[in-house]
Amino acid sequence: MTVPPGQPVGPPAQQPALPACARHPGRPTGLRCSRCDRPACVECLRPAAVGQHCVDCLAEGRRTTRQPVTISGARTDRRPIVLPILIGINVLVFVVTVIQARSITNLQGSSLFDNWALLPLLTRNGYWWQLITAGFLHVSVIHILMNMIALWVIGRDMERVLGPFRFGIVYLLGVFGGNVAVFVFGAANAPEAGASTGVFALMGGLLVVVYRLKVNPSQVIGLIVVNLVISVVIPGISLLGHLGGLITGIAVTFALVNVPAERRTLWQTVTVVAAVVVLLGLVAVRVPQLPVLT
């Protein structure tokens, strides 16, 4: 057979085999990661500012890149998780008290309500848990509904700013601080219950946050003033509990968002411990003034 002039003699040259994807050895690919230069299939590549990066390089970049944080040191990509837990606990406790009392309007027939509601005279005589548990009781459907709506509206932003752990601390210290105010300055035989101590703590914390972020605080101030006026005008609402929660929330949140970024966790821990010591000190001052029941 005559070979035309200029045509190579012999079998045609074979193309070199494509390399396999680094993560999928059974997939030949002509693509590469522009960062590590390893072969990668289409499924393993993501568009980047320059070229395309494999998923392994992207994961490594996320690990080594410093995540942005809020003014309290919380990560900005977390969704609220403590807030729904707090609401769930409040609702569960309310359901239990309704079942025990067999009434939705008079819950004082519930043994849980009677043991958990803050009554300073009983608290001084060994029912110390009331300084916390009273913040998870409610006397009516309207009571819990209003508190849970306020907790949800304010708590969503506050947990994002503070982070789950700090948010929970501010809320619980607000409950404790509000009940301590009732215990120290209130009547010995006047019962108190409600999550509004913690809600007012979050209001106070929100006021601190908007000032710290240099945002117009007028709406938050108006919210606090309106709720304090309601506390005075409507009978049966504990003004002492609201003021105690508000002041505690302001003080604790101010410390949490203003400590130095260096050794932030240490300073925030010291702040929380100091707040607990101060509140326990107030309780200790009040105890000798209340009679011992025999």
Closest to 140 (Cα-Cα) out of 84, 94, 87, 192:
94
The catalytically annotated residue of 53, 138, 143, 242 is 242
One pLDDT digit (tens) per residue for the chain, 294 residues? 555 665 555 555 556 678 888 888 888 888 888 888 888 888 888 887 777 888 888 777 766 555 677 777 777 777 889 999 999 999 999 999 999 999 888 887 899 999 999 999 999 999 999 999 999 999 999 999 999 999 999 999 999 989 999 999 999 999 999 999 999 999 999 899 999 999 999 999 999 999 998 989 999 999 999 999 999 998 888 999 999 999 999 999 999 998 888 888 899 999 999 999 999 999 999 999 999 987
The answer to whether the CB of 54 falls within 8 A of the CB of 22 is yes
Amino acid at 241: G
- At CB < 8 A and 24+ separation, what contacts does 228-233 make? none
Give the H or E element holding residue 46: strand 45-47
103 within 8 A of 83, measured Cβ to Cβ? no
Q: Write down the pLDDT at residue 6.
A: 58
Catalytic residue list contains 143: no
Q: Which residues contact 64 (CB under 8 A, 6 or more apart)?
A: none
CA nearest to 127, candidates 142, 111, 103, 141: 111
Per-residue pLDDT at 8: 58
Which DSSP letter does residue 32 get? Answer: B
Please confirm, yes or no, whether 24 is among the known catalytic residues. no
Phi, psi values for residue 54, rounded to 5° = -75, 160
Distance between CA atoms of 32 and 21, rounded to whole angstroms?
Answer: 9
List the one residue out of 197, 191, 192, 186 whose CA is nearest residue 289: 186
Are the C-beta atoms of residues 173 and 244 closer than 8 Å to each other?
no
Residue 265 Cα to chain centre, angstroms: 16
The active-site residue, picked from 72, 110, 196, 231, is 196
3-state secondary structure of 255: helix
Q: How far apart are CA 269 and CA 287, in angstroms?
A: 27
